[in-house]
Amino acid sequence: MYAFVARVFGQAADIFYRRRMLGGAVPRQGPTVIVSNHPNGLIDPVLIMRIARRTVRFLAKAPMFGMPVIGRLTKWVRALPVYRAQDGHDTSANADMFRAVYAALADGDCICLFPEGVSHNEPALQPLKTGAARMALGAEAAADRPLGVQIVPVGLYYRDKSAFHSEVAIRIGEPIVLDDGWRARHAEDPRAAARSLTEAIDEAIRRITVNLDAWDDLPVLELAARIWHDERDPVERLRAMADAQRTFLTTRPRRIEALRNRLLAFGDDLEALGLTPEALDRPVGDGRRARYVLRNLVAAVLGLPVALIGAVAYFAPYQLIRLLVRLIDPEEDIIATAKVLAAVLFFVPWHIALVTATALCIGPGTAFVASVGLPLCALYTHHFIEGRIAALRRARMAWTLLRGQGREASAALRAEREALRVELDALAAEYG
């Protein structure tokens, strides 16, 4: 059942998010403990199942095993229950869980846990529990031979957790290998060794995640990352800038506050004109405008029938999901979980009903085409709407750049953008 759950919900998550890998890999064999930040409910383990390329056993809080649907899924993937005092459980029951983890690692399995202890919507990594360290070190101590357990950090960054087809970036860090040194430290003082290893895990996860002091910092840093270019991936650039901001706020607070205010003003001016930092360099000639208009007219005329088919075919389950999420009103960190679970529960039966009705009313040949074509039409509907909105936005930008007043404003904004880039370059040089 593990493979079935991983495939079905993994594909659902891949449809909901645009997944981008930033490097690294989970070892394909050998005792492995995956540790990750936990910003997005049950979506986080689904993505880890998707990228691990091996069977992963998760640790899950005990109440999940009694939930409808979710409880069944946790049992199918052979998750191990964790008994927490805040859930009203006797934590002494965790002795069996630790023994099960030790046995799994001794057999060369891969386990995963989220050492923050809870899914959350905070902008930074929360304080880690020592469980991951104690499990890995305990497995080494309980074995009759060195296991060489590898602790693999995974960083998850969601651009907009609750938005369909937004982006999730995933970075797998370098593993922490439990060698003779760690085993000796554990033999001498298990608690001290667990604390030290937890600190190492914390540092490893922070190196591959974006950690902010407040969510209000995100749009400012994203704008700065678009202005200041280097060869790193945009998410890596954003992570580095967030780390640098935290450092400079303690050493150069006035300079950083002044830069933040300039970035906010620059962003407000761009938004007022309907521009982006990149659009300031975009030439707008007659030929380019004509090609752009023609291309979008053709896309609108040819794409509208396909988009309408997808919208009409799945209108009912789409509205049901929206209604369900509105009624449940879940916390921010589990909105995507609710949407993906509802999509699997509603869309799949609805699709089967559509195909069956088509086979009975028209014929099996048409039903086969519908079974493949209708989901593709539904996916294209979202693409079509996004494309038309983007076209209108670009048309507004082009109009702004063509007007005399708009040309003057864009020239002033280009000068400010370059001044901001010089300041960011100077800070980058100081930060190293």
pTM: 0.87
Average pLDDT value over all residues in the chain: 89
In this predicted structure, the answer to whether residue 62 has a pLDDT above a threshold of 90 is no
In the chain, the N- to C-terminal Cα span, in Å, equals: 49
How would you write 176-192 as a 3-class SS string? EECCHHHHHHHHHCHHH
Closest C-alpha to 36, from 183, 194, 208: 208
pLDDT band at 261 (very low <50, low <70, confident <90, very high): very high
Q: Could you report the per-residue pLDDT of 3-46, keeping only the tens digit for each?
A: 999 999 999 999 999 999 999 999 999 999 999 999 999 999 99
**Residue 276: what residue type?**
T
CA distances from 124 to 160, 210, 423 (A): 15, 7, 26
- Phi/psi-derived region of residue 117, left when phi > 0, alpha when psi is between -120 and 50, beta in every other case: left
- What are the structural domains of the chain? 2-206 (3.40.1130.10), 280-413 (no CATH)
Confidence at residue 401, expressed as pLDDT on a 0 to 100 scale? 64
